[in-house]
Chains A and B, each alone.
Chain A
């Protein structure tokens, strides 16, 4: 588990792979490589993070060739991570453990922006209630061929709230995340701002707070 913040939040997913590979090599860890003409390290992530969105508790699996203790990995790796990539916890998982990508089901986000003429608490709550009560919440997506199409994100919004702090609006949301039905936080924000008519100055600054899997009775942290 690691955080991706500060300058590191602008590292793209592809570059993040390289950053971990290089850090592992600096740490002298015996990372496993794929076989073949163009070997690359066996590294997998729970869910790619959009460039510019900070992550407070992100997950990655790194496959090793030898037996190493979690303590050794944590110590050697944390010393060689670039600014903004911070290790939080290392666990050794068995080879049979399910892939992180298959486990992830939803993510919690916060989004902050400067708001012009901040509404009262009640008005804000009303705006959210109205938004969530819409029969469908359509956003525009582009297919692989570049065609625009409408997509309903409402089934993937699990929770949403907002508060005002001076001139800052802070939204919190839990959204469907993973290989199917994934919703980007920017899509939710765009739709909400349009629906509510609120005026913000500049852009929302996003953070992903947590990743959850679908537990037996309720959602759980991945670990």
Chain B
């Protein structure tokens, strides 16, 4: 009797673990030289919504000499069953143990998924720390946004990939393949990999701390290893391989639809935003490429919805024409277009009108801060007038629910700014009433996150606001937003605190992660599993004070634990921007033609690329 058939009927959503989905690629194990597995440190429905997985899966499986399978973090009920039955973590395509692969490639999307990497390694029977692993264990590699401050995860990862993976993944696989053919040891593979641009091998660097425990510097162990690792950027974004035959999940994913990436990067320059830095420069896909890829996606997947994804899709130059064109072409087959998020302005409402699907639900705007002063500090180029204009248009067009995203704890924030959130929400509510939205159906939802300072951003030197103070602001907001048409959501401030520790953490936090995992921490991004007591206990056991990480204010000339990772934006620019922030001076969008001078284009020998607003533009 097949062991999986014994286990799967007893767990929740067993289709998470079967594989066999449409477009899944199952290659001949014996005939393929290099075996890799994409490891997503969250549950199937989350991982299958991730475009990066599909991009790399497509690229690697297009090679004749390599294969890539998939594995996700099993939900705790499945993990218990696997341990009970001695079943190690296996990949979905071949059902082979993860330990049998040459490379296990994790994506680091979010700091709070770090414990799930340990959880998956442990279920796979792979020693947690890189130094404990031997020649038989897979190479554990990792990429994604959190690789831009890799140090907290450095103890567990053999190789980090910094920046966009489309090109470097092939270069890395070539190196590993060549080493494998020459039967080189892991030590030599790592040294060779470190020579590939964009590759960071943490075991080839020593970290130095001062007597007071502060971080001093990080230095390569030998000359062949670069002192700084510069991120990889795809120059020809339009021509880079795009997965037009993505795996179609057999059980509903969080984003259960076609995804077409229409642009990469964002020009807006919000000062808290890490994605805005690490995905620079902005590169748009040509409209004809988007239309061609959409048609292929529809044919190859059968989904009923196509989402134009990016950090800011309403900024995509030809967005209006592209939406109309896709909608016209595929509406007959019951395919809708959707947009992931909208800017708070009138144009966005125009866009939303074109997109039938959004119409059914609510419209979401992200003013981020409650007053113009604070919006200028964070360089969020949205005015109150923009927002009111957008909300007004939305209610006029028939939407009855509006969601507003804000942050609290932003640098320089005062009580006045927090009150501004309440006032904005109430103004939007009043607009809804003025536009005659029925009282029973009018809904304004205010979501409030706590600011987390992130590496490589303008606010990387700033401390997080104290927990108690964040809680007080949350309480204030709750008491001031009591209205039956107004809903307030806020994130657990404890979670934001741990996130802040890791977002600016150093290599010493590896011990904390091991302790936290041993205490049972996993799925920390899920509120039902996040347990602050266990985390604080883990810090105590590791002898590390989390406050020194979350609440530290760095000086401009202090060495930072992520200084050896080069995101392409100069530190002088970040300092300049930080000073402008403190004076509430806004910096124009680089799309406007006024180059703010971040230094990335000359440093990486690249330029922004705009597709032009005309559908047939021959750019």
Q: Is B250 a contact partner of A7 (Cβ separation < 8 A)?
A: yes
Q: Which residue, of A22, A25, A31, A33, has the highest number of chain B Cβ atoms within 10 A?
A: A25
A19–B252 alpha-carbon span in the complex (Å): 10
For B382, what are the chain A residues with a Cβ–Cβ distance below 8 Å?
A: none
Q: Is B532 an interface residue (CB 8 A)?
A: no
Q: Is B9 a contact partner of A51 (Cβ separation < 8 A)?
A: yes
Contact A21-B302, Cβ < 8 Å, known A10-B14, A15-B15, A15-B251 = yes
Contact A202-B302, Cβ < 8 Å, known A22-B248, A82-B20, A82-B250 = no
For B304, what are the chain A residues with a Cβ–Cβ distance below 8 Å?
A: 21-22, 25
A7–B252 alpha-carbon span in the complex (Å): 15
Closest Cβ of chain A to B584, distance in Å, is 45
For B251, what are the chain A residues with a Cβ–Cβ distance below 8 Å?
A: 11-12, 15
Q: Is A24 an interface residue (CB 8 A)?
A: yes
Q: Is B22 a contact partner of A80 (Cβ separation < 8 A)?
A: yes
Report B8-39 CB contacts with A as 1/0, cut-off 8 Å.
11100111011111101000000000000000
Report A81-97 CB contacts with B as 1/0, cut-off 8 Å.
01110000000000000
Chain A residue with minimal CB distance to B2? Answer: A205
A41–B24 alpha-carbon span in the complex (Å): 25
For B6, what are the chain A residues with a Cβ–Cβ distance below 8 Å?
A: 202-203, 205
- The residues in A between 49 and 67 inclusive whose CB is less than 8 angstroms from any CB of B are 51-52
Q: Is B8 a contact partner of A22 (Cβ separation < 8 A)?
A: no
Closest Cβ of chain A to B126, distance in Å, is 25
Closest Cβ of chain A to B226, distance in Å, is 45
Q: Is A114 a contact partner of B1 (Cβ separation < 8 A)?
A: yes
Q: Is B302 a contact partner of A26 (Cβ separation < 8 A)?
A: yes
A168–B256 alpha-carbon span in the complex (Å): 41
For A39, what are the chain B residues with a Cβ–Cβ distance below 8 Å?
A: 334
Q: Is A8 an interface residue (CB 8 A)?
A: yes
Q: Is A100 an interface residue (CB 8 A)?
A: no
For A31, what are the chain B residues with a Cβ–Cβ distance below 8 Å?
A: 334
Closest Cβ of chain B to A181, distance in Å, is 24
Q: Is A23 an interface residue (CB 8 A)?
A: yes
Q: Is B109 an interface residue (CB 8 A)?
A: no
Q: Is A37 an interface residue (CB 8 A)?
A: yes
Q: Is A37 a contact partner of B5 (Cβ separation < 8 A)?
A: no
A51–B250 alpha-carbon span in the complex (Å): 13
Q: Is A141 an interface residue (CB 8 A)?
A: no
For A114, what are the chain B residues with a Cβ–Cβ distance below 8 Å?
A: 1
Q: Is A15 a contact partner of B252 (Cβ separation < 8 A)?
A: yes
Interface SS, A side: mixed
Q: Is A205 a contact partner of B302 (Cβ separation < 8 A)?
A: no
Chain A residue with minimal CB distance to B24? Answer: A83
Chain B residue with minimal CB distance to A38? Answer: B360
Report A1-22 CB contacts with B as 1/0, cut-off 8 Å.
0000011101110110011011
For B248, what are the chain A residues with a Cβ–Cβ distance below 8 Å?
A: 22, 82
For A10, what are the chain B residues with a Cβ–Cβ distance below 8 Å?
A: 8, 14-15, 17-18, 250
Q: Is B20 a contact partner of A52 (Cβ separation < 8 A)?
A: no
For B1, what are the chain A residues with a Cβ–Cβ distance below 8 Å?
A: 112-114, 168, 202, 205
Q: Which residue, of A10, A12, A21, A26, has the highest number of chain B Cβ atoms within 10 A?
A: A10
Q: Is B301 an interface residue (CB 8 A)?
A: yes
For B24, what are the chain A residues with a Cβ–Cβ distance below 8 Å?
A: 83
Chain B residue with minimal CB distance to A16? Answer: B250
Q: Is A52 a contact partner of B14 (Cβ separation < 8 A)?
A: yes
Q: Which residue, of B299, B300, B302, has the highest number of chain A Cβ atoms within 10 A?
A: B302
Q: Which residue, of A19, A21, A114, has the highest number of chain B Cβ atoms within 10 A?
A: A19
A31–B304 alpha-carbon span in the complex (Å): 12
Q: Is B441 an interface residue (CB 8 A)?
A: no
Chain A residue with minimal CB distance to B299? Answer: A26
Report A28-51 CB contacts with B as 1/0, cut-off 8 Å.
100101000111010000000001
A25–B21 alpha-carbon span in the complex (Å): 16
For B22, what are the chain A residues with a Cβ–Cβ distance below 8 Å?
A: 22-23, 26, 80, 82
- The residues in B between 287 and 325 inclusive whose CB is less than 8 angstroms from any CB of A are 298-304
Q: Is B472 an interface residue (CB 8 A)?
A: no
For A18, what are the chain B residues with a Cβ–Cβ distance below 8 Å?
A: 252, 256
Chain A residue with minimal CB distance to B13? Answer: A12
Among B14, B20, B335, point to the contact of A51 (Cβ < 8 A).
Answer: B14
A15–B335 alpha-carbon span in the complex (Å): 18
Q: Is B183 an interface residue (CB 8 A)?
A: no
Closest Cβ of chain B to A16, distance in Å, is 9
For B484, what are the chain A residues with a Cβ–Cβ distance below 8 Å?
A: none
Q: Is B252 a contact partner of A26 (Cβ separation < 8 A)?
A: no
Contact A25-B302, Cβ < 8 Å, known A11-B15, A203-B10 = yes
Contact A33-B300, Cβ < 8 Å, known A22-B248, A203-B9 = no
Contact A25-B20, Cβ < 8 Å, known A82-B248, A202-B6 = no
Closest Cβ of chain B to A40, distance in Å, is 9
Chain B residue with minimal CB distance to A53? Answer: B9
Chain B residue with minimal CB distance to A168? Answer: B1
Report A118-155 CB contacts with B as 1/0, cut-off 8 Å.
00000000000000000000000000000000000000
Q: Is A7 a contact partner of B18 (Cβ separation < 8 A)?
A: yes
Q: Is A26 a contact partner of B334 (Cβ separation < 8 A)?
A: no
Q: Which residue, of B10, B17, B22, B360, has the highest number of chain A Cβ atoms within 10 A?
A: B22
A22–B303 alpha-carbon span in the complex (Å): 6
Q: Is A80 a contact partner of B302 (Cβ separation < 8 A)?
A: yes
For B302, what are the chain A residues with a Cβ–Cβ distance below 8 Å?
A: 21-26, 80
Q: Is B181 an interface residue (CB 8 A)?
A: no
A71–B252 alpha-carbon span in the complex (Å): 31
Q: Is B187 an interface residue (CB 8 A)?
A: no
Closest Cβ of chain B to A110, distance in Å, is 14
A30–B251 alpha-carbon span in the complex (Å): 24
Chain B residue with minimal CB distance to A83? Answer: B20
Chain B residue with minimal CB distance to A50? Answer: B9
Q: Is B482 an interface residue (CB 8 A)?
A: no
Chain A residue with minimal CB distance to B336? Answer: A39
A129–B515 alpha-carbon span in the complex (Å): 58
For B252, what are the chain A residues with a Cβ–Cβ distance below 8 Å?
A: 14-15, 18
For A24, what are the chain B residues with a Cβ–Cβ distance below 8 Å?
A: 302
A144–B359 alpha-carbon span in the complex (Å): 34
Closest Cβ of chain A to B161, distance in Å, is 31
For B334, what are the chain A residues with a Cβ–Cβ distance below 8 Å?
A: 25, 31, 33, 39, 41
A38–B361 alpha-carbon span in the complex (Å): 11
Closest Cβ of chain B to A70, distance in Å, is 21
Q: Is A22 a contact partner of B250 (Cβ separation < 8 A)?
A: no
For B10, what are the chain A residues with a Cβ–Cβ distance below 8 Å?
A: 203
For B17, what are the chain A residues with a Cβ–Cβ distance below 8 Å?
A: 10
Q: Which residue, of B17, B299, B334, has the highest number of chain A Cβ atoms within 10 A?
A: B334
For A12, what are the chain B residues with a Cβ–Cβ distance below 8 Å?
A: 13, 15, 251
Closest Cβ of chain B to A170, distance in Å, is 12
Q: Which residue, of A7, A33, A39, has the highest number of chain B Cβ atoms within 10 A?
A: A7
A50–B452 alpha-carbon span in the complex (Å): 45
Q: Is A6 a contact partner of B301 (Cβ separation < 8 A)?
A: no
Chain B residue with minimal CB distance to A27? Answer: B302
A168–B250 alpha-carbon span in the complex (Å): 31
Q: Which residue, of B13, B22, B250, has the highest number of chain A Cβ atoms within 10 A?
A: B250
13 contacts between A and B (CB under 8 A): A7-B21, A7-B250, A8-B20, A12-B15, A12-B251, A22-B303, A23-B302, A26-B300, A31-B334, A82-B20, A82-B21, A84-B20, A114-B1
With contacts A6-B20, A22-B303, A84-B20 known, what are 17 further pairs, Cβ within 8 A?
Answer: A7-B20, A7-B21, A10-B14, A11-B15, A11-B250, A15-B250, A22-B22, A25-B302, A25-B334, A31-B334, A33-B334, A52-B9, A82-B20, A83-B19, A83-B24, A205-B5, A205-B6
Q: Across chains A and B, which 3 residue pairs bring their CB atoms closest together, nearest first?
A: A22-B302, A7-B20, A83-B20
